[in-house]
Chains A and B, each alone.
Chain A
Amino acid sequence: MLRLAVAKGRTADAVVNLFEKAGIVFTDYAHTRKLLMRDKDKQIELILVKPIDTPIYVESGAADCGIAGLDILKENEADIYPLMRLDASKCEMILAVKEGDDITDKRFLTVATKYPRITQEYFDKQNKEVKIIHLSGALELAPILNMADAIVDIRQTGKTLKENGLIAIEEFMDISACFIANKVSLKTRYAEIKTLMDKLTGGGAE
């Protein structure tokens, strides 16, 4: 039985839906708080983990494969195989400022983000000096309180930005859920992993 680590919450909801379409049903999923469950036919063991931990479970071999957001994979380099994007949990990585602010000519920027690595790479590519403030949530507050000139974050609906008077001035990365595999598991259990990948993409994956 393959063990699959999936980020709790939106990603897990989307993945369970994808599985259902492929005929793999997790009957317990909707009405339990269990973190470990098997599908009806006992092909897959699903472990529900904190999004940021998904690659760690896969890298260590505690899970054979996993599903994590591209933002998590880019921010935390793990020794895993990132095999494909899935049609789930889509959003964008954006740079946003207070409505009416213009940062184009600013030589030095202060940016608040949950993603310091992605942010640093983004500004490095533009040869722009930047001071990064690493926050763990509610980034929108940083420009409002003049703690930062801008924020780098993922945008799902844009509602939070709008309600807090922020506006995205650039979208620079398409994020989606990605299928990842443990390096040894991919070699030793390739047939099972390939079948699972095919099911997640509706038959024609790779």
Chain B
Amino acid sequence: MNYQQKENQILFKYIKDKFNALFDCYGYDEITLPLFEAYEKFKRYRAVDENTLLKLIDRAGNILVLRPDATFHVLKTVETFEEKIERCYYITNIFRFRDNDFEKNDTLQAGCELFGSPAPYADIEVINLAIESLRVLDIENIHIDIGHSKFVHTFLKEIGIREFREISHYHGLVDNKNLIALEEELSARGTSKKNIRQLCDIAMLFGEYDATMAKAYDVCINAKMEENLQQIQAIYDGLKAVGSHPYVRLDLGFSNPMNYYTGMIFKGYVSGYGENIISGGRYDTLARQFADLPYACGFGHNIDAILDILLKRQAAPAYKPAVCVSGEDYYAAAVLCNELHKRNIRSILSEPRTGMPALIVCDKAVKVIDENGEYNTTVEKILSGEGGILC
């Protein structure tokens, strides 16, 4: 995030307020995540590219990793809770080496995680919440691509690509729709022309849900791939029932650089913006491994991208102006200001300022200056809510 621009700071608060209200309403508990993790522990978690980790060395010579991914820290945090948590969310910084310009290495992320259910309704809930989270920010032209993390994987295994590094490599080529390299490398490997054609077709299997799903069955080469499609269909049917389906498209050719997903995966885009702004999916194996929770799904927002979109779309909303409280008798003004704080009214001890409502205290009388002009009232009336200043 570019911390230097005040617009970014204001918009970030706006996003946080909207997300806090929305996630709270859906029953998600906010959690705060630790910033550091011992490198030795983090090594076991292979979902983040080692070269992108930002490390520190403490006085004892231990290597610490700055939080490069929220999911790992969420799992390590909820694992310690006496009472199992079902739904949680976070809004936090993520640190990863992307560029020598260190500002780009510190990004903001928000995310929701839902634990404990293998049923499609959990997937439906998180996808629906992801859509809602963009709608509360009045972001239109959203589209969500859903896919299945095992679809390409199963195909690759079936055609004899089984070694972890090779699978990741070909996954990457499919994900990047690098049809040129796919054709050349698979030909060199002796893969049949039919299988190469099918894998290239899978890479390009995206678009309007029903039409793409119809084509998807043609490239299935075993029952597992068909099962994957049935799982996606159950989720889509649920999204249709709650009315979110117009935002949803199918993309069976994308995987995720975080290769921990075990089922449904999805990405959220906004038309005209080059990066995905949401990414999520089901990660049961990881949840079992790190938090002893059998099932998990969730998503994360790229808040830097959302800030970019909001900044291009509108001027940043201003912070709500505080009420300026002043008076010849400093203590009388301070007492009134204190009373306003107790009533959750944003107020400061200050002489009147342009564009901000003001209260000037003179004994028990108060002169109010606000957008309606100037008028006189009393401290008692102000504190009892009369006169509009408390609204």
Contacts and interface: CB of A to CB of B under 8 A. Distances in A.
Nearest to A174: B184
B271 A188 contact: yes
Contacts of B177: 81-83, 181, 186
B273 interface: yes
A184 B269 contact: yes
| Listed residue (A60, A181, A187) with the most chain B CB atoms within 10 angstroms of its CB | A187
B178 A81 contact: yes
A83 B179 CA distance: 5
B180 A187 contact: no
Interface residues of A, number: 18
Nearest to A83: B179
Contacts of A206: 179, 200-201, 204
Contacts of A81: 176-178
* Count class of interface residues, chain B: 10 to 19
Contacts of A70: 180
Interface string A150-194: 000000000000000000000000000010011110111010000
Interface string B260-277: 000000000101111000
A66 B318 CA distance: 42
Contacts of B115: none
Nearest to A60: B274
Contact of B181 (A60, A82, A182): A82
Contacts of B317: none
Given A190-B207, A206-B200, A184 B272 contact: yes
A83 B180 CA distance: 6
A61 B274 CA distance: 7
Nearest to B197: A206
A85 interface: yes
A184 B274 CA distance: 6
Contacts of B19: none
A60 B179 CA distance: 21
B23 interface: no
Given A61-B274, A206-B200, A187 B269 contact: yes
Nearest to A191: B207
B206 interface: yes
Given A187-B206, A190-B207, A206-B204, A82 B272 contact: no
Given A70-B180, A188-B271, 20 more contacts: A60-B274, A61-B274, A81-B176, A81-B177, A82-B176, A82-B178, A82-B180, A82-B181, A83-B177, A83-B179, A84-B180, A85-B180, A181-B177, A183-B274, A184-B272, A184-B273, A186-B177, A187-B206, A190-B207, A206-B201
Interface of A: 60-61, 70, 81-85, 178, 181-184, 186-188, 190, 206
Interface of B: 145, 176-181, 200-201, 204, 206-207, 269, 271-274
20 contacts: A60-B274, A61-B274, A81-B176, A81-B178, A82-B176, A82-B177, A83-B179, A83-B180, A84-B179, A84-B180, A181-B177, A184-B269, A184-B271, A184-B272, A184-B274, A187-B145, A187-B206, A187-B269, A190-B206, A190-B207
